Amino acid sequence: MTDSPRRAEDESVLGRPEDEQPDEQPAPEPEEAPAPLLTLRDGLPAVVETDEALVEACDRLAAATGPVAIDAERASGYRYSNRAYLIQLRREGAGSWLVDPIPLTTLEPLQQALAGTEWILHAATQDLPCLKEVGLTPTALFDTELAGRLLGYPRVGLATLTETCLGQRMRKEHSAADWSTRPLPRPWLEYAALDVEVLVELRDHLAAELEAAGKAEWARQEFAHLLDFEPTVKQDAWRRTSGVHRLRGRRSLAAAKALWEVRDRIAAERDVTPGRILPDSAIVAAATALPTDRRSLLRTEGFHGRGASRYSADWIEALERVRDMDESELPSKAPRGDGPPHPRTWADREPAADRRFKAAREAMAHLAELHGLPVENLLTPDYVRRLMWEPPATREPAALAQAIREELARVGARPWQVDLVAGALTGAVLAGDAPADVAAETAEQP
C-alpha cells in the first residue's frame, strides 16, 4: 500500500514523526590531501654513454662532498643475468648522473672517484651484486631500507619511507620495466633519476632517528656486515619448479631436473628469463609423460612456441639420459639438507628440542617487540633453529651463555645481536631441558 499524496506532502513540509526520524549521520571527515609529488630539482640529466662523458661525471662527483646516493636498474623478468643496465648517482655539489654501463669500456674511473665515500643504497643486497659485476664496490655504506627495519617501520619501500619521513610522494610505475631496452624512454629515465633525488635527505633523517633510538651502533654494524655480502647460491634450485611436487617417481624427478638444467643453460646463453624458453608446466608435463621422440614431445602440454620446437633435440637428449640412468643416480624425493629437520616434527622426535625451540621463539618475539624491530632482524631464524636442535653440551649457565655467544659469532651474528639474544637463548635451552631433568630426578627418588 502506497502513501497518499497528502501524507507525502505533509512529511515533506513537516518532517516525519519524532520516532520515525532517521539516525543522524556524522559528517564525513575531510580526506587528507595527498603528499606533493617528488620532482627533479635540476631537470633530467643526460645519459652518460661514452668514456669521455664518464670522465666528466667522475671529475664532478670526485669534487663534490658528502655521501653519494646510488641506485641500479636491472631487467629482472626479462633477462637471465643480474646485470645493471643503468646506474644512478647523486652527490651534494655534483647533482644527479645517469650512467649506462653497457657501452662503456670500464667503470674504473667511477670507482676511483667514489673511493672513501659513503654509499647510500636502498635494499643494498639487491644492487651490490650487479654493481660489483661492473667493478663498483663500496668501502662504507648506509642502507635506508635496513635502517627503516631497525627503526620498526612497518613498510620500508623507498616510496613509502620517502612519503613517511620526507612528506613527498614518488611514482613507481616503471619499477618492472625492461631496462635492457635501448634507447631508454624519457619517462623511465625520469623515474630512475627520482630514485636518488632525495636519498641523501632520507639517509640523514633515518640516521638522526637511529641516534635518538639508541640504535646507531646497531646500524653501523649491520652496514659494515653488508660490505662482504654475497648472494646465496640456491641448492637444488630445480626443485622450485612450479608443480614439481606433484611428480611421484624418482625418474620423473630426474627428468624434471634434466629439463630444468637444459632450460637454464639455454636461458643463460641467450640472456633471457627461463620461462621465455619453456614454462614450468611444460617441464612437469614432459617429466610425467617422458616422450621418446620429437613428435610426441611437441604434443606434450606446454611444448609450443619457438623455444619448445627450436630446442627439441636438447629436450629429447635430456630425457634419453634420464631413461638410461641407474637407480642410484636418481634424485631423492625429498631434498637433502645439512640443517635440522622442520620444527613441526620435533615434538615427536626430540621433545626437549621442541620445548627449547618454543621457549626461544617466545623469547625472541618478546625481545623484538621490546626493541621495536622485526624478529628476523633481531636474529636469523635459521640460527635459532640450529641452536635449539643441537645446543652446546654444557648446562652450567655461565659456560652455556659463553658457548652460545661464541657459536652466534661464528655463524655471522653481529655483536649487537649477540648481546641482545644470548641471555634469552641461554634461558630457552635451560627451560626446555628442565622438565626432562625434573622428571628424571623424580623417578630416581625412593
Q: What CATH number did the domain enclosing 83 receive?
A: 3.30.420.10
Instruction: Say what the pLDDT of residue 445 is.
Output: 42
Domain match, 113 and 221 both: yes
* Residue 273 grid cell: 628469463
* 22 located within any domain: no
pLDDT bracket for residue 296 (50, 70, 90):
very high
Q: Which of 329, 352, 378 represents a domain boundary (last residue)?
A: 329
Instruction: Say what the pLDDT of residue 334 is.
Output: 78
Say whether 414 sits in a helix, a strand or coil.
coil
Distance from C-alpha of 418 to C-alpha of 131, rounded to nearest angstrom: 31
* 267 located within any domain: yes
Prediction pTM value:
0.86
Instruction: Say what the pLDDT of residue 425 is.
Output: 97
Distance from C-alpha of 41 to C-alpha of 19, rounded to nearest angstrom: 62
Q: In the beta sheet, which residues pair with residue 92?
A: 65
Instruction: Say what the pLDDT of residue 442 is.
Output: 33
Instruction: Say what the pLDDT of residue 214 is.
Output: 98
- Are the C-beta atoms of residues 236 and 334 closer than 8 Å to each other? no
Domain match, 73 and 150 both: yes
* 30 located within any domain: no
Instruction: Say what the pLDDT of residue 31 is.
Output: 67
Sign of the CA dihedral with 186 first, then 187, 190, and 191 last: negative
Domain match, 53 and 140 both: yes
Domain match, 86 and 201 both: yes
Domain match, 118 and 60 both: yes
pLDDT digits (tens, 9 = 90+) for 70-124: 999 999 999 999 999 999 999 999 999 999 999 999 999 999 999 999 999 999 9
* Residue 145 grid cell: 631500507
Domain match, 243 and 222 both: no
Domain match, 82 and 162 both: yes
Domain match, 249 and 173 both: no
* 89 located within any domain: yes
Average pLDDT in the chain: 90
Distance from C-alpha of 213 to C-alpha of 216, rounded to nearest angstrom: 8
Q: Per-residue pLDDT averaged across 320-332, rounded?
A: 96
- Are the C-beta atoms of residues 358 and 366 closer than 8 Å to each other? no
Domain match, 243 and 387 both: no
Domain match, 320 and 433 both: no
- Sorted by sequence, the CB contacts under 8 Å of residue 104 that are 6+ apart come out as 48, 49, 50, 51, 54
pLDDT digits (tens, 9 = 90+) for 371-415: 999 999 999 999 999 999 999 999 999 999 999 999 999 999 999
Q: Which of 295, 329, 363 represents a domain boundary (last residue)?
A: 329
pLDDT digits (tens, 9 = 90+) for 153-194: 999 999 999 999 999 999 877 878 999 999 999 999 999 999
Single out the residue of 128, 94, 101, 81 nearest to residue 184, CA to CA. Answer: 101
Distance of CA 256 to CAs 7, 69, 232, 263, 307, Å? 78, 44, 23, 10, 17
Q: Which of 226, 261, 280 represents a domain boundary (last residue)?
A: 226
List the CATH number of the domain containing 396. Answer: 1.10.150.80
The total domain count for the chain is: 3
* 20 located within any domain: no
pLDDT digits (tens, 9 = 90+) for 227-286: 999 998 888 999 999 999 999 999 999 999 999 999 999 999 999 999 999 999 999 999
Domain match, 284 and 353 both: no
* 6 located within any domain: no
* 28 located within any domain: no
Instruction: Say what the pLDDT of residue 313 is.
Output: 95
Domain match, 56 and 137 both: yes
274 is in which domain, residue-wise?
237-329
Is the bond into 435 cis (omega within 30 degrees of 0)?
A: no
Whether pLDDT at 14 is above 70: no
* 14 located within any domain: no
Residue % of the chain over a pLDDT of 70: 90
pLDDT digits (tens, 9 = 90+) for 142-159: 999 999 999 999 999 999
Q: In the chain, what is the greatest distance between 2 CA atoms, to the nearest angstrom?
A: 98
